[in-house]
Amino acid sequence: MAVKRNAFEEREKFLAKFAEDQDGLWSELVLAGQRYPRYVREFWTSRQRQASSIHEVSYRACYKPQLPRLFIEQLTQPGDRVYDPFSGRGTTALEAALLGRRATANDINPLSKILAQPRLSPPDPAAVVKRLEAIPRSGACHDGLELSMFYHPGTEAEIRSLRQWFLQREPLDELDDWIRMVATNRLTGHSPGFFSVYTLPPNQALSAGKQVLINAKRNQVPEYRDTHALILKKTKQLLGGLTGEETRRLREASGDALFCTEDARRTSRIEEASVQLTVTSPPFLDVVQYAQDNWLRCWFCSLDAEAIGRAITMSRTLGAWSEVMREVFVELHRLTRQGGFVAFEVGEVRKGTIRLEEVVLPLGIHAGFKALGILVNDQAFTKTANIWGVSNNTHGTNSNRIVLFEKP
């Protein structure tokens, strides 16, 4: 039987190798008289590993799969439980499953579960074809929502029939879950691979009125799009890069994966001291309007967009945001086992005037964690290595900053 690696030793190796890297920068953050190391270097690039095709589902404010993979590989063992309390499209959960770890995800927005959970059960494309053949392309009742600015009448009829099919078959089996996930991702976009006429990228939806203006400006009329064909095409794209071993791991992980839709401060379904590693990126103040961007997806999945908008934490002040995150850290301390870790990714907001790592670090310490330092992934294509003086990093577009904690 293999001996489990000592968490302390792994932590020391993980941080020490970056501190010794002469290509990176090492500095200190001083808070309340305490010094915390900050490591600045390119921890990962798109060249080091092409992310799995199974991730290619659009969602606002999602990070690259390479981020959670770095921490999962270094700070966990196969079979360990990995968690994300703000899971979004499920990047952390999917990376955990691909690496043979146990996945737990939570997001108060139920769209997150709809988009993430089905991808742990990748289907045979032939089975998708057969199921699509059984789904009517027309005949669904019209609920009064005007969608003609987005869709050709034939396309709209197919979308409404898909929606009605799912409504009538709840709870859905794995195939229907998969088809709904793919269709939800294809509702709107800016290429012929989506159901709609040209509009914003697929991770956000314009209002009907704004889409009318785009149509007039571009002199465009929605053309017919074969929704069944596009669902199958996207299915093949998602599955196309998976190896047999990755497919096996995903399906194995689905057996005990946990997808919750609770407030991240009170996750009653997750057992105490069950998590080895949390990798997450919380909503940042009022930067991203999740419910507003997802109104069309919510309609298709029969969800209440307004209720979701009220439930999602979109604090307008730093004080209110900090209070919510304080409670989140208390809950994470409950869930994390001794020797476990939390990698908390924060972004720059309000043109870099707020450095959330300086806010998050004391919150984690107050909850009972030990702060190990701040890791800044500084992409090679930036103009300079000085992360704080780079104009194209001002909005967090080219860098990630992660505060790393351990539960003693």
Shared domain for 58 and 93, answered yes or no, is: yes
What interhelical angle do 125-134 and 227-240 show, nearest 10? 160
Q: How many domains does the chain have?
A: 2
Shared domain for 285 and 354, answered yes or no, is: yes
Does 134 fall in a domain? Answer: yes
Choosing from 237, 257, 288, the residue where a domain stops is: 237
Shared domain for 267 and 147, answered yes or no, is: no
Choosing from 211, 237, 263, the residue where a domain stops is: 237
Does 1 fall in a domain? Answer: no
Choosing from 176, 208, 237, the residue where a domain stops is: 237
Shared domain for 60 and 137, answered yes or no, is: no
Cβ neighbours of residue 212 under 8 Å, at least 6 residues apart? 149
Shared domain for 98 and 151, answered yes or no, is: no
Shared domain for 275 and 376, answered yes or no, is: yes
Does 48 fall in a domain? Answer: yes
This prediction has a pTM of: 0.90
Distance CA 83, CA 68 (A): 10
pLDDT value for 7: 60
Distance CA 359, CA 348 (A): 12
Among residues 336, 320, 313, the alpha carbon closest in space to that of 404 is found at 336
Does 302 fall in a domain? Answer: yes
pLDDT value for 384: 33
What string of pLDDT tens digits covers the 408 residues of the chain? 333 456 667 667 776 766 665 455 567 888 888 889 888 877 776 554 568 999 999 887 788 899 999 999 999 999 999 999 999 999 999 999 999 999 999 999 999 999 999 999 999 999 999 999 999 999 999 999 999 999 999 999 999 999 999 999 999 999 999 999 999 999 999 999 999 999 987 777 888 999 999 999 999 999 999 999 999 999 999 999 999 999 999 999 999 999 999 999 999 999 999 999 999 999 887 656 666 778 999 999 999 988 887 787 667 788 989 999 999 999 999 999 999 999 999 976 666 677 889 999 999 999 999 999 998 887 644 333 333 333 434 443 446 889 999 999
Measured at the CA of 64, the angle between CA 389 and CA 95, to 5 degrees, comes to 145
Does 295 fall in a domain? Answer: yes
Shared domain for 138 and 248, answered yes or no, is: no
User: What range defines the domain where residue 18 resides?
Assistant: 7-120+243-406
Does 2 fall in a domain? Answer: no
pLDDT value for 289: 65
Among residues 296, 285, 272, 255, the alpha carbon closest in space to that of 156 is found at 296
Shared domain for 267 and 372, answered yes or no, is: yes
Shared domain for 233 and 290, answered yes or no, is: no
Shared domain for 379 and 273, answered yes or no, is: yes
Does 260 fall in a domain? Answer: yes
Does 334 fall in a domain? Answer: yes
pLDDT value for 291: 64
Shared domain for 183 and 307, answered yes or no, is: no
Dihedral pair phi/psi, residue 314, rounded to 5°: -125, 65
| Ordered DSSP codes for 246-276 | HHHHHHHHHTT-EEE-S-TT--TTSPTT-EE
Instruction: Read off the CATH number of the domain in which 11 is found.
Output: 3.40.50.150
Q: Which residues of 386-395 are buried (b: 16+ CB within 10 A; e: fewer)?
A: ebeebeebee
Shared domain for 256 and 389, answered yes or no, is: yes
Distance CA 321, CA 337 (A): 26
pLDDT value for 24: 55
pLDDT value for 205: 82
